[in-house]
Every structure is written in C-alpha cells, then in structure tokens.
Amino acid sequence: MSQDDRAYVVASLRAVDYVTIFDEATPLDLIEYLGPHVLVKGGDWTEDTVVGGESVMKRGGSIKIIPLMEGRSTTNLIGKILTAYKNYC
C-alpha cells in the first residue's frame, strides 16, 4: 500500500481526527509541534521506543500500543502477491 492509501485507511477510522505524511526520518518535530494527547503505534513498538512518546507523556498525554493481528501483515501480503505473480508468469 502506498503511504496515501495507508493514510486514507487510517483517516477513515472514526477515532482518528487527522492524518499527516511527513518527509523527515522520524516524526519527532511534527509531534512536538502538534502536541497530540494520544500517540498510537503498532504492537511491534514499546512505550519507551516510540519516537515522540516522551514529549507526549511530559504534556500529560498517553501512548497506546495496539496489538498486531496474526496474519494481517502488509509486507506478507505483498510477498504473497509477488510470489503468485512470479509463479503465474
């Protein structure tokens, strides 16, 4: 999925107020500028490794780690598609 496709899917969630795409290596400057109350990351992260987490926590915000779902990997899905395509051609 392209970053625009991912942004569209995330933005369609009722709990999401806004989605942005950034060009920097990490979103730290953006997080510090926006000052979100909640920072959400996938289950492959921990609270102490989330970029910007310390900044959010200092302002009284929270970090939410969402568990990964078994078998729901975009990377694995792309791999399966590529394998099927190679086998077909």
Query: What digits encode the pLDDT tens for the residues 21-59?
Result: 989 999 999 999 999 999 999 898 999 999 999 999 999
61, 50 contact by CB (below 8 A): no
Query: What digits encode the pLDDT tens for the residues 57-89?
Result: 999 999 999 998 887 777 787 788 888 888 887
Q: Which of 34, 38, 60, 59 is nearest to 50 (CA)?
A: 38
State the pLDDT at residue 15: 86
Question: pTM for this structure?
Answer: 0.66
Strands (E), the chain: 38-42, 62-66
Residues making up the chain, counted from first to last: 89
